[in-house]
A and B are shown apart, each in its own frame.
Chain A
Amino acid sequence: MTDALEAVFRREAGRCTATLIRVLGDIDLAEDAVAEAFAIAAEQWPVRGIPPNPGGWITTTARNRAIDRLRRESSRADRHIAALRLHTHDMEPDPTPELEELDLLIDVFPDDQLRLMFLCCHPALAADSRVALTLRLLGGLETGEIARGFLVPEPTIAQRIVRAKRKLRDNRAAYRIPRAAELPDRLRAVLAVIYLIYTEGHTATSGPALTRIDLSTEAIRLGRVLATLMPDEPEVIGLVALMLLTEARRSARTDTDGSMIRLADQDRARWDRSLIDEGHGLVRACLRRNQPGPFQLQAAIAAVHNDAPTAEETDWSQIVALYDQLYAILPSPVVALNRAVAVAAIEGPSAGLDALDNIDVVEDYQPYHAARADLLMRAGRRDEAVEAYDRAIGLTANAAEQAFLTRHRRAAKGA
Chain B
Amino acid sequence: MPQYLLSVWHDETYEVDFSSPDAQRRVGQVAAFNEELQRAGAWVFAGGLHPASSATVVRSGEGQVSMTDGPYAETKEQMGGFWVIEAPDLDAALELAGKAATASGEPIEVRPMQG
User: Distance (Å) between the CB of B41 and the closest chain A CB?
Assistant: 15
- Taken together as a complex, chains A and B put the C-alpha atoms of A171 and B2 apart, in Å, by 8
Contacts of A126 in B (CB 8 A): none
- Taken together as a complex, chains A and B put the C-alpha atoms of A298 and B21 apart, in Å, by 47
Asked if B88 and A171 make an inter-chain contact with CB atoms under 8 angstroms apart, the answer reads no
- Taken together as a complex, chains A and B put the C-alpha atoms of A372 and B107 apart, in Å, by 40
Asked if A124 and B94 make an inter-chain contact with CB atoms under 8 angstroms apart, the answer reads yes
Contacts of A122 in B (CB 8 A): 90
Q: Which of B61-102 contact A (CB under 8 A)?
A: 88-91, 93-94
Asked if B90 and A89 make an inter-chain contact with CB atoms under 8 angstroms apart, the answer reads no
- Taken together as a complex, chains A and B put the C-alpha atoms of A322 and B89 apart, in Å, by 41
Asked if B91 and A182 make an inter-chain contact with CB atoms under 8 angstroms apart, the answer reads yes
Asked if A172 and B94 make an inter-chain contact with CB atoms under 8 angstroms apart, the answer reads no
Asked if A174 and B90 make an inter-chain contact with CB atoms under 8 angstroms apart, the answer reads yes
The answer to whether A39 has its CB under 8 Å from any CB of chain B is no
- Taken together as a complex, chains A and B put the C-alpha atoms of A170 and B90 apart, in Å, by 9
Asked if A178 and B112 make an inter-chain contact with CB atoms under 8 angstroms apart, the answer reads no
- Taken together as a complex, chains A and B put the C-alpha atoms of A245 and B110 apart, in Å, by 41
Q: Which of A60-89 contact B (CB under 8 A)?
A: 86, 89
Contacts of A86 in B (CB 8 A): 2
Asked if A170 and B89 make an inter-chain contact with CB atoms under 8 angstroms apart, the answer reads no
Q: Which of A192-223 contact B (CB under 8 A)?
A: none
Asked if A174 and B88 make an inter-chain contact with CB atoms under 8 angstroms apart, the answer reads yes
Contacts of B2 in A (CB 8 A): 86, 172
> What is the chain A residue whose CB lies nearest that of B113?
A170
User: Distance (Å) between the CB of B39 and the closest chain A CB?
Assistant: 19
The answer to whether A28 has its CB under 8 Å from any CB of chain B is no
Asked if B89 and A174 make an inter-chain contact with CB atoms under 8 angstroms apart, the answer reads yes
- Taken together as a complex, chains A and B put the C-alpha atoms of A178 and B88 apart, in Å, by 14
Output the residue of B4, B89, B110 with the most chain A CB within 10 A: B89
Contacts of B89 in A (CB 8 A): 89-90, 172-174
User: Distance (Å) between the CB of A182 and the closest chain B CB?
Assistant: 7
Chain A window 166-182, contacts with chain B (Cβ cutoff 8 Å), 1 for yes, 0 for no: 00101111100010001
Q: Which of A81-122 contact B (CB under 8 A)?
A: 86, 89-90, 122
Q: Which of A142-175 contact B (CB under 8 A)?
A: 168, 170-174
Contacts of B110 in A (CB 8 A): 124, 171
- Taken together as a complex, chains A and B put the C-alpha atoms of A268 and B23 apart, in Å, by 63
Contacts of A172 in B (CB 8 A): 2, 88-90, 112
Contacts of A173 in B (CB 8 A): 89-91
Asked if B88 and A89 make an inter-chain contact with CB atoms under 8 angstroms apart, the answer reads yes
A124-B90 in contact given A86-B2, A172-B2 (Cβ < 8 Å): yes
Jot down 28 A-B pairs with beta carbons below 8 A, ordered by A. Answer: A86-B2, A89-B88, A89-B89, A90-B88, A90-B89, A122-B90, A124-B90, A124-B110, A168-B90, A170-B112, A171-B4, A171-B90, A171-B93, A171-B110, A171-B112, A172-B2, A172-B88, A172-B89, A172-B90, A172-B112, A173-B89, A173-B90, A173-B91, A174-B88, A174-B89, A174-B90, A174-B91, A182-B91
Sample of 16 further A-B pairs with CB below 8 A, known A90-B88, A124-B94, A172-B89: A86-B2, A90-B89, A124-B90, A124-B110, A168-B90, A171-B4, A171-B93, A171-B110, A171-B112, A172-B2, A172-B88, A172-B90, A173-B91, A174-B89, A174-B91, A182-B91
| Residues of B in contact with A (beta carbons under 8 Å apart) | 2, 4, 88-91, 93-94, 110, 112
| Residues of A in contact with B (beta carbons under 8 Å apart) | 86, 89-90, 122, 124, 168, 170-174, 178, 182
